Structure 1
Amino acid sequence: MKSFLDNDFLLQTDTAKHLFHDYSEELPIIDYHCHISPREIYEDKRFDSLGDVWFGGKQADGSYFGDHYKWRLMRSNGIPEELVTGRDDELERFKRFADALSLSIGNPMYHWCHLELKKYFGIDEPLTPVNAEKIWNKCNDMLGNDDSFTVRGLIKKSNVAYVGTTDDPVDSLEWHEKIAADESIDFLVRPSFRPDKAVNIHKEGFKEYIQELAGVVGKETLDSTQDVIDALIERVEYFAGRGCVASDHGLDYVPFRIVSMEECDKAFRKAMSGEAVSTEEAEGYQTALLIALGKAYHKHGIAMEIHYSCMRNKNERMFRLIGPDTGYDMIANNTCGENIANLLSELDKTEELPKTIIFSLNPADNQQIGTIIGGFQSSEVPGKIQHGPAWWFNDTKIGMEEQMKSLASLGILGNFIGMLTDSRSFLSYTRHDYFRRIMCNLIGGWVENGEYPNDEEALKRIVSGISYYNAKRYFNL
């Protein structure tokens, strides 16, 4: 019987162990999509307690920010919300979490949490309700007395070379500028352009956001779809000037409905006057923006990330109580593969298709994505159109294996740009370690089964590429 979380955790063959320890484990991390705060990186935040860095929760301004994977786990064990996102009794919160975690056999959270405790705090024993207070005290002592337990310290401990944050077009990027000017920061932090609020014409807050966007580009108002496009492209250029190499679109589904600009403007005027727009009207406007933005991304060498098939904030009572991004999102079942292909084809017509990474939250879409990306590759960069890594609810052992098997079956796994955290936690870089172990175990198994030759140079190139070098090349870092 193997010991829990030993040095060869998840590595089932000698080849897998060799590939991980010799070609993957020590390589830097490129975390090209996450939701951590550039301000906290610049200010080198210290954490008040393990609860602060481990859970997050309700902030001083009344908003909520933190690791909603952990929040969901606690809710699933019947823990009251005041102990999930509330911060009045942090020790009791941690004890109750330990109880929930001890029941979570088969959940990747069990592995992630223990990798975090081992990596950052040197704790090898499993967290249980019995030892929770002892572990809490040890971690808090280290956080309070070890100067390396700051935001920058945790990033350095994790061997992170690049952090791609997620930023709104109206953001001034002042913290990114300060980071870039600080010579003591020896890892890259770059903004990523996320224009969802301008694209989602059918959602609450659209009118107010367009007014804010107008102000940022020095206009009193934006009066047409073209005005919005021009303002967004101005902001793309602003982001590009500050090192942006990626954009991100979080879409319920990918629309594709080409209509005239007059029809787009009709929908725009309705939304700005507070009227509801139909699905067809929204899709026409959204498609116009996606095409224009895709061309701008291509011009500036910015990769376009498309995340779709998520039902967001579906628990209306909790959304009204504590807001978005708090653990109440779910997998959707959308049939928009043809729309994705049509969008890529429309951009490709004029040879303005940017590097594109496609993520579906629904694993049933894996093979469809695999065939779509194969239809739009080019000599611009190997793997120009990528099947994004197993994302969110799919970044389990099974989910990662299935995504990589699908990509390998239908494309070139050796050009895959690898893992990201998509996280709001500075401890979550251990998910790269988790992914790399799973990837090396999968490839090692194929070698030992005689499905791929034991070719040392080829295997090194594949494993080290997926771990680090492919993403470095893809994002021109």
Structure 2
Amino acid sequence: MTNSDNDVLHVHPDRLLPSEPGLRKIARELYGSVKDLPIISPHGHVPAQWLADDVPFEDPTSLLITPDHYVNRLLHASGVSLADLGVGQTDFSDEQKRNAFRLLCANWKAYRGTPVKFWFESELADIFGIELAPTEANADAIYDQIAAAIATPEFRPRALYKKFGIEFIATTDDPADDLRFHEKLASDPTWDGKVAPTFRPDKYLEPATPSWNGLIDTLGEVSGVDTGTYAGWVAAMENRRAFFKDHGAVSSDHSHRDPGAAKLDAAEAERLYAKARAGEITSEEGDALRRDFVFQQARMATEDGLVMTMHPAVFRNHHADSLEKYGADVGGDIPIQAEFTRNVQPLLSAFGTHPNFQLVLFTIDETVFSRELAPMAGFYPSVFVGAPWWFIDEPDAIRRYRRAVTGAGAGFGRTSGFIDDTRAFLSIPARHDMSRRLDAGYVAELVGEHRLTMDEALDTMHDLVVTQPRKAFKL
């Protein structure tokens, strides 16, 4: 490869499709049938304020680097300080922003073989029309081209929402949030998109943490309910879930160390709650009460209809110093082993066949796809297997997911549809495109093996992109 080849951004039209010519031809047709279908994004972290206020993005770094822990964590592993990428910085100068982009380009080699490379290159080529591969030498030129683009009306958030073909997008929100930006969008006659809040109560379900009592005080204030008792906590949660549903929420989202959910008897729940409010609860007691809280969230879901999603088994903020300096959600979260079958049995025994209950289970532990999640989804009408998430949101893992889940009892119809789970707004089309290409490759294999007809394959592709996310999230 010559030096000039290194400077060219290679975004091949057949990227991620099968290399075998016969299968590639089938996959091209399958991918072509869905590549322009609308994007449905039922779980993500793009701030509603961006679309409500529709203000221009400030600069390439705060748009593409600082909020994206997928990008930041590999740079950090390569020796770049998170502070130099703008993470946790409130006063980040224009020159510092430009230097952060230079650091990304100088370390571009670190992304080889990763999905970040696919997403980022797709953004550069398809959104900004950039033909240069990032290098230390051309970092400023790429930065300037992006900066010039995002200063135009065509690159404001609402314009990009329409350009990307987004049909629906969900944010992730604290139970105490006033959802004013969702209200602003709903009351704006010039806005015709769909942006829904998601109820994320994790912190309010962890009674052994130091911040819990303060959060429960806040919960009482915003709900107007006395949270001094366990019954008050339940009533306050029901109040806030209703508030979220009134503002368009379709789901609640839960992530704890394990997916445990088990009901305590009333007296024990009240006893442990009182200990927690007094700041005297032990870690083991806190886990027991947290699992009861999760069970109660499932019970509430049968009544208000919010879809319950769970993505457990992550060691959050693994590096204490980074947490202290930069806060949470900066890429320092590491997966741990998961177990679902025993942990969710009490919940599914109680609600698994309830007609108003739906549960989408995500994991970063691939070993449970065929052993636990697919068999559950293949029996319980309420259960869907969530798409590969976070560290397994990459080409080879997505292929393994389809092979592990489809034949192990879930088929295609018990899966969630793709979930981008991102704060990086401009990466959303690339992430969904990656999923569509990979699914086209997998379904093409089934056609090539005469396990599906071409008509069945085309119908399946449409279902994976549109029908399944609508079904799993009751859209």
The normalised TM-score by structure 1 is 0.91
Question: Residue 411 of structure 2 aligns with which residue?
Answer: 412
Partner of 1:62: none
What residue is the counterpart of 1:68 in the other structure? 69
Which of residues 362, 365, 384 in structure 1 aligns to 2:365? Answer: 362
Instruction: Say yes or no: does 1:244 pair with 2:249.
Output: yes
2:187 maps to 181
- Given that 1:28 and 1:159 are in contact with CA atoms closer than 8 Å, whether structure 2 keeps it comes out as yes
User: Distance in 1 between the 2:454 and 2:414 partners?
Assistant: 17
- 1:28 aligns with 38
CA distance in 1, matches of 2:368, 2:224: 42
**SS at the partner of 1:296?**
helix
Cα-to-partner distance string for 1:335-368 (whole Å, 9 max, x where unaligned): 343112332112237x366111001122222121
1:60 alignment partner in structure 2: none
After the TM superposition, which residues 270-281 of structure 1 pair with which residues of structure 2 at under 5 Å, given as runs? Answer: 270-279=275-284, 281=285
Aligned partner of 1:375 in structure 2 is: 379
- 1:441 maps to 441
Aligned runs of 1:51-450 on 2, under 5 Å? Answer: 51-56=61-66, 66-84=67-85, 85=87, 86=89, 87-88=92-93, 89-144=96-151, 146-219=152-225, 221-279=226-284, 281-348=285-352, 351=354, 354-367=357-370, 368-377=372-381, 384-410=382-408, 411-429=410-428, 430-448=430-448, 450=449
Counterpart for residue 470 of structure 2: 472
Q: Distance in 2 between matches of 1:236 and 1:176?
A: 15
Give the drift of 1:415: 4.7
- How many correspondences in the alignment? 454
- Cα distance in 1, alignment partners of residues 327 and 337 from structure 2: 23
Cα displacement (A) at 1:451: 4.1
**Alpha carbons 1:35, 1:166 under 8 Å: kept:** yes
Q: Is 1:39 matched with 2:49?
A: yes
CA RMSD of aligned residues (A): 1.9
Match of 1:49 in 2: 59
| Residue number among 11, 14, 27 corresponding to 1:16 in the alignment | 27
Q: Is the 8 A contact 1:257 1:283 kept in 2?
A: no
Amino acid at match of 2:442: L
Query: Does the CA contact (< 8 Å) of 2:302 and 2:351 recur in 1?
Result: no
| Structure 2 residue runs without a partner (length 5+) | 2-8, 19-23
- Matched residues in 2 for 1:110 and 1:42: separation? 30
Confirm or deny: 8 A CA contact 2:173 2:198 kept in the other structure: yes
CA distance in 2, matches of 1:213, 1:399: 39
Tell me whether 1:453 sits opposite 2:457 in the alignment.
no
Identity of aligned residues (%): 25
| Preserved contact between residue 291 and residue 347 of structure 1 (Cα < 8 Å) | no
* Equivalent pair of 1:267/1:277 in contact (CA under 8 Å): no
1: distance between equivalents of 2:228 and 2:28?
60
Preserved CA contact (<8 Å) 1:307 1:359: yes
Which moves more between the two structures, 328-337 or 428-437?
328-337
Unpaired stretches in structure 1, ≥5 consecutive residues: 57-65, 378-383
Deviates more, 1:110-119 or 1:78-87: 78-87
Quote the offset at 1:404 in angstroms: 1.5
1:118 Cα deviation from its structure 2 partner:
1.5
AA of the residue aligned to 2:360:
I
**Structure 1 residues 373, 454: closer, same or farther in 2, change over 3 A?**
closer
CA distance in 1 between counterparts of 2:166 and 2:335 reads 30
Instruction: Give 1:282 deviation, angstroms.
Output: 2.1
Q: What TM-score do the two structures reach when normalised by structure 2? A: 0.91
The answer as to whether partners of 2:251 and 2:307 remain within 8 angstroms in 1 is yes
* Contact 2:295 2:347 survives alignment (8 Å): yes
